[in-house]
Amino acid sequence: MDDFYRDYLIELGRNPHNYGHLEHPDAAFEDLNPTCGDRIRIELKLDASHRIADIKFSGRGCMISQASTSMLTDAAKGLPVEDVMKLSHDLILENLGGSILPARMKCATLGLKVLKSAVMGEVASWPDEST
């Protein structure tokens, strides 16, 4: 990781995008990474075509968890829920500059795990259209 990128991540960790709460979220989920103490909550709103209309996250934790979730919420905005479920750890690694210590992998991917759990919980609550 070069210095410029490192500074960018530190800044993003301090002032993350999409930080806060939504008034009436359609879905929300919270989880933590006990090995580091990171805790992340994601709230989202879906539009009529099941795209992410708005997304906010809150919680606290290390710079990597905060910066990574900030970039993830930027990427998720506007995506259909099917595409959210396809987001992979590769995107997270790419966002973080390509490499990360294995020990910090859980910090980096916590936001993605929480986002997918929120989406899955919401999708599971939809009426089954096949019956």
Residues within window 43-72 making contact with Zn ion, judged by CB under 5 A: 61-62, 65
The residue whose two tokens read 């800044």 is 11
Residues within window 67-106 making contact with Zn ion, judged by CB under 5 A: none
Region of 25 please: left (phi>0), alpha (psi -120 to 50) or beta: beta
122 binds Zn ion (CB under 5 A): no
For 40, counting Cβ atoms within 10 Å of its Cβ (0-12 exposed, 13-18 middle, 19+ buried), the class is buried
By CB under 5 A, name the one of 42, 107, 108, 118 that touches Zn ion: 107
Q: In the stretch 7-46, what mask flags binding to Zn ion with x, by CB under 5 A? A: -----------------------------x-x--------
Q: State the nearest-atom distance from the C-beta of 40 to Zn ion, in Å.
A: 10
The answer to whether 18 touches 112, Cβ cutoff 8 Å, is no
Region of 115 please: left (phi>0), alpha (psi -120 to 50) or beta: alpha
Residues that contact Zn ion, how many (by CB under 5 A): 6
Q: State the nearest-atom distance from the C-beta of 62 to Zn ion, in Å.
A: 3
* Contacting positions for Zn ion (CB under 5 A): 36, 38, 61-62, 65, 107
